[in-house]
């Protein structure tokens, strides 16, 4: 099961990369994926999560081919 994980803005800078491909043998939630990929870094407070470009909660389970994104509060307009 293949998941694409993307980071934006300050989170991308802090982690030093914009995206990662992840192979999973069992379904994980968005929060569990963050922990697996960034075990030393607690998810920063206020971080937003999107699955396939829709806002999602950290409890949401990912399925094959999903695109998961983490990003800081938005500041457009």
Partner 1 sequence: MQIKLSAEPFNPWQILHDYETEQRQLAGQYGATAVFVGTMRDFNQGDDVVVMQLDHYPGMTEKQLTRIVEQAQQQWAILDGLLLHRVGKIEPNDTLVIVAVWSAHRGDAFDASRFIMEALKKQAPFWKQETLSSGEVRWVSSNSDGYLKPAHNAK
Q: Least distance in Å: CB of 6 to partner 1?
A: 8
Closest to partner 1 by CB, 5 or 69: 69
Closest to partner 1 by CB, 27 or 44: 44
Rounded Cα distance, 66 and 62, in Å: 6
Name the site residues for partner 1 (rule: CB under 8 A): 6, 8-10, 13, 46, 48, 50, 53-55, 69, 71-77
Closest to partner 1 by CB, 18 or 63: 18
């Amino acid at each position: 099961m293949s998941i694409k994980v993307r980071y934006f803005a300050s989170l991308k800078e802090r982690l030093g990369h914009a995206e990662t491909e992840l192979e999973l043998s069992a379904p994980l939630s968005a929060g569990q994926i963050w922990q697996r990929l960034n075990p030393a870094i607690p998810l920063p407070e206020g971080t937003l999560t999107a699955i396939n470009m829709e806002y999602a909660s950290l409890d949401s389970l990912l399925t094959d081919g999903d695109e998961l994104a983490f990003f800081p509060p938005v500041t457009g307009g």
